[in-house]
Chains A and B, each alone.
Chain A
């Protein structure tokens, strides 16, 4: 990935990824909602060695902007061969249970906006017969649990969409990489008590880029989550539904 569009570049995992890409001398097009924060990430990337950095303040929940955004990225970087889709919200499960509006907001950001963007990007990459689409999903999409199934559903739906997209684009030399981080120590999880399973955003970013480099399909980062989720997926539903998870 030499010319990369990073969506949601101010998220902790995206920032760490941007740093690694910058150190490799990549060209970057960054988006974020907050102008000051995006500016901080953009200058950091430029200082750390990115060949070219452009950015755009945009709310990705506004689907009408997506076509123009992708076009702007293509123009600014003179082409595009990589995408890191990193925007997302954790939401509040309790609030989502009470309110459809809260549920819809999570689905809209994590699933619908991703689908809208990937529709535009997939067609571009399919036409140019090259590129890598990296999408940050979550282990939470592997199985619904009472503590965060709205967030989980948004990521689970995303995973299925990506499987289909991967299947479609395989013959066009376009890689679709689903990255499933476990717990990550970021501002998104600042309110949660930390344990040994929490990984740093830097570690997740390294896993993400190595998966992108080798054009993997689905990866768990850190790798231990492959085992954890295998166990969680294997538990029969009859038993699972009685568990406190």
Chain B
């Protein structure tokens, strides 16, 4: 048994690992359940399998085909988005949807149906997955596509790795003229300001997302900076190239677990104030390489160590537009009042393009992501409250970032859960799944498990 942690470093569980080598190999026979595990960038326990076995997929890292004329790439599920970019970007193709880190595997991007800064235009990653092969523990292999085994396709996209192992996938990339993004930063003074500028930006900008100063209160509640941009046209001139375009890949590193006192209300407050005022309150335009634009945190290796050994809890919710203003105000007020600073908080609007996965998280509305250093009971209570506010607003919480949502909330957020359960592989499970969906277990077991769920 090996201790392995997720990106949030909470929880830590003991589990076996089995490294997959060839996509044509059979699944191993193990006591206990299996769960595919790629680069482990999920924050909570959806990529962990306590007492079971993780199928390590990073050995399935081969390309199968890439057509530079059509931008269709076919590869094994353990290939990372970084690897795809290295192959495709120099030939004029980019990921159709990318999350805030490129260190995720294609299999992980499918299992979490990830989203990015272009959700209002492009929807989720799953929409660009043309087909994939699903290997089940009974040895069966199915090619799944929107028009071939569509149920398996819908269950597996966003299906948290529970329907079986995706061995390979085919993804439609998107053409770009060059690797630069024309980026503009627009400050906004409060939550209303965000909603106005975000919605106004959706028409002309493919990419939008906002950093929010979660410690600002009162009239300034929800102030922040909105980043919007488009890939630059083939010819561009007159704009300075950001210095950061030179930083490619990993530059800095957090060398060790930071002691808890480094992150406190004062330091986070100072960082947020400086960050906000760097802008002088005016929009700024510049050209930047796609790397710092899409993956600013990838430049700091193991940035999650900044939260120290106890890790952190991520919280990402989406709330519908109808309730967004009030709900987000309450959520921001509650977290600002909690005295537990969120180092990095992000706001983004989701468009109305439906996600293909039954358990996909993105849906029309506004999404807010925050991270809280794990300070035990206090943090737990805070995030519970945020969960309640989200549910009251008719929203949902993102399983990929979660380590604590209740079974009742999970059922409320994901109404297609019942249908999904029919497609879960009987030999596959995860710590998240057993926690958030104890009804999937025999009743005696589920009672035991429910009583085990407790705060960190």
Knowing A36-B24, A37-B24, A48-B87, the reply to whether A43 touches B63 (Cβ < 8 A) is yes
Kindly list chain A residues whose C-beta atoms are within 8 Å of the C-beta of B87. Answer: 47-48
* Contact (Cβ within 8 A) A43 B62: yes
B55-73 with Cβ < 8 A to chain A: 62-66
* Contact (Cβ within 8 A) A40 B23: yes
* Contact (Cβ within 8 A) A40 B24: yes
Smallest CB–CB gap between B141 and chain A, Å?
Answer: 13
Kindly list chain B residues whose C-beta atoms are within 8 Å of the C-beta of A13. Answer: none
User: Is A218 an interface residue, CB under 8 A from the partner?
Assistant: no
User: Is B301 an interface residue, CB under 8 A from the partner?
Assistant: no
Kindly list chain A residues whose C-beta atoms are within 8 Å of the C-beta of B254. Answer: none
The residue that B21 contacts in the complex, of A43, A44, A48, A187, with Cβ under 8 A, is A187
B250-267 interface bits toward A, Cβ cutoff 8 Å, 1 = contact, 0 = none: 000000000000000000
**Alpha-carbon distance between A41 and B23 when the two chains are bound, in angstroms:** 11
The residue that A47 contacts in the complex, of B21, B22, B24, B65, with Cβ under 8 A, is B65
A127-170 with Cβ < 8 A to chain B: none
Smallest CB–CB gap between A50 and chain B, Å?
Answer: 11
**Alpha-carbon distance between A34 and B63 when the two chains are bound, in angstroms:** 18
Kindly list chain A residues whose C-beta atoms are within 8 Å of the C-beta of B24. Answer: 36-37, 40
* Contact (Cβ within 8 A) A44 B62: yes
User: Is B1 an interface residue, CB under 8 A from the partner?
Assistant: no
Kindly list chain B residues whose C-beta atoms are within 8 Å of the C-beta of A47. Answer: 63-66, 75, 87
User: Is B19 an interface residue, CB under 8 A from the partner?
Assistant: yes
* Contact (Cβ within 8 A) B63 A37: no
Residue of chain B at shortest CB distance from A36: B24
Q: Give the interface size bracket for A toward B.
A: 10 to 19
**Alpha-carbon distance between A41 and B87 when the two chains are bound, in angstroms:** 16
Kindly list chain A residues whose C-beta atoms are within 8 Å of the C-beta of B23. Answer: 40
Residue of chain A at shortest CB distance from B62: A44
**Alpha-carbon distance between A185 and B142 when the two chains are bound, in angstroms:** 32
User: Is A190 an interface residue, CB under 8 A from the partner?
Assistant: yes
**Alpha-carbon distance between A190 and B28 when the two chains are bound, in angstroms:** 14
A33-57 interface bits toward B, Cβ cutoff 8 Å, 1 = contact, 0 = none: 0101100110110011000000000
Smallest CB–CB gap between A198 and chain B, Å?
Answer: 13
* Contact (Cβ within 8 A) A36 B63: no
Smallest CB–CB gap between B1 and chain A, Å?
Answer: 13
B8-27 interface bits toward A, Cβ cutoff 8 Å, 1 = contact, 0 = none: 00000000000101111000
Interface residues on chain B, number (Cβ under 8 Å): 13
**Alpha-carbon distance between A34 and B25 when the two chains are bound, in angstroms:** 11
Kindly list chain B residues whose C-beta atoms are within 8 Å of the C-beta of A34. Answer: 22
**Alpha-carbon distance between A231 and B323 when the two chains are bound, in angstroms:** 71
Smallest CB–CB gap between B103 and chain A, Å?
Answer: 16
* Contact (Cβ within 8 A) A48 B19: no
Smallest CB–CB gap between A56 and chain B, Å?
Answer: 18
B390-422 with Cβ < 8 A to chain A: none
Residue of chain A at shortest CB distance from B59: A187
* Contact (Cβ within 8 A) A187 B62: no
B86-120 with Cβ < 8 A to chain A: 87
* Contact (Cβ within 8 A) A36 B64: no
Smallest CB–CB gap between A32 and chain B, Å?
Answer: 11
Among B63, B65, B76, B87, the one with the most A-chain Cβ atoms within 10 Å of its Cβ is B63
**Alpha-carbon distance between A200 and B279 when the two chains are bound, in angstroms:** 44
**Alpha-carbon distance between A44 and B73 when the two chains are bound, in angstroms:** 12
* Contact (Cβ within 8 A) A36 B65: no
Kindly list chain A residues whose C-beta atoms are within 8 Å of the C-beta of B76. Answer: 40
Kindly list chain A residues whose C-beta atoms are within 8 Å of the C-beta of B65. Answer: 43, 47
**Alpha-carbon distance between A187 and B24 when the two chains are bound, in angstroms:** 15
**Alpha-carbon distance between A36 and B62 when the two chains are bound, in angstroms:** 13
Among B62, B75, B76, B87, the one with the most A-chain Cβ atoms within 10 Å of its Cβ is B62
* Contact (Cβ within 8 A) B19 A190: yes
Smallest CB–CB gap between A40 and chain B, Å?
Answer: 5
**Alpha-carbon distance between A65 and B403 when the two chains are bound, in angstroms:** 57
**Alpha-carbon distance between A36 and B167 when the two chains are bound, in angstroms:** 14
Kindly list chain B residues whose C-beta atoms are within 8 Å of the C-beta of A37. Answer: 22, 24
Kindly list chain B residues whose C-beta atoms are within 8 Å of the C-beta of A43. Answer: 62-65
**Alpha-carbon distance between A187 and B20 when the two chains are bound, in angstroms:** 9
Smallest CB–CB gap between A162 and chain B, Å?
Answer: 29
Residue of chain B at shortest CB distance from A22: B63
**Alpha-carbon distance between A46 and B76 when the two chains are bound, in angstroms:** 15
**Alpha-carbon distance between A16 and B76 when the two chains are bound, in angstroms:** 16
Residue of chain A at shortest CB distance from B168: A40
Kindly list chain B residues whose C-beta atoms are within 8 Å of the C-beta of A44. Answer: 62-64
Kindly list chain A residues whose C-beta atoms are within 8 Å of the C-beta of B64. Answer: 40, 43-44, 47
B35-79 interface bits toward A, Cβ cutoff 8 Å, 1 = contact, 0 = none: 000000000000000000000000000111110000000011000
Kindly list chain B residues whose C-beta atoms are within 8 Å of the C-beta of A41. Answer: 62
Smallest CB–CB gap between A217 and chain B, Å?
Answer: 33
* Contact (Cβ within 8 A) A40 B66: no
* Contact (Cβ within 8 A) A48 B22: no
A1-45 interface bits toward B, Cβ cutoff 8 Å, 1 = contact, 0 = none: 000000000000000000000000000000000101100110110
Residue of chain A at shortest CB distance from B60: A40
**Alpha-carbon distance between A48 and B86 when the two chains are bound, in angstroms:** 10
Smallest CB–CB gap between A177 and chain B, Å?
Answer: 26
**Alpha-carbon distance between A190 and B21 when the two chains are bound, in angstroms:** 11
Lowest 9 CB-CB distances: which A-B pairs, in order?
A47-B63, A44-B62, A36-B24, A47-B66, A44-B63, A43-B64, A37-B22, A40-B62, A187-B21
A36-B24, A48-B63 are known; give 11 further A-B pairs, CB within 8 A. A37-B24, A40-B62, A40-B76, A43-B62, A44-B64, A47-B65, A47-B66, A47-B75, A47-B87, A48-B87, A187-B21
Identify the B interface with A (CB < 8 A).
19, 21-24, 62-66, 75-76, 87
30 contacting pairs across A/B (C-beta < 8 A): A34-B22, A36-B22, A36-B24, A37-B22, A37-B24, A40-B22, A40-B23, A40-B24, A40-B62, A40-B64, A40-B76, A41-B62, A43-B62, A43-B63, A43-B64, A43-B65, A44-B62, A44-B63, A44-B64, A47-B63, A47-B64, A47-B65, A47-B66, A47-B75, A47-B87, A48-B63, A48-B87, A187-B19, A187-B21, A190-B19
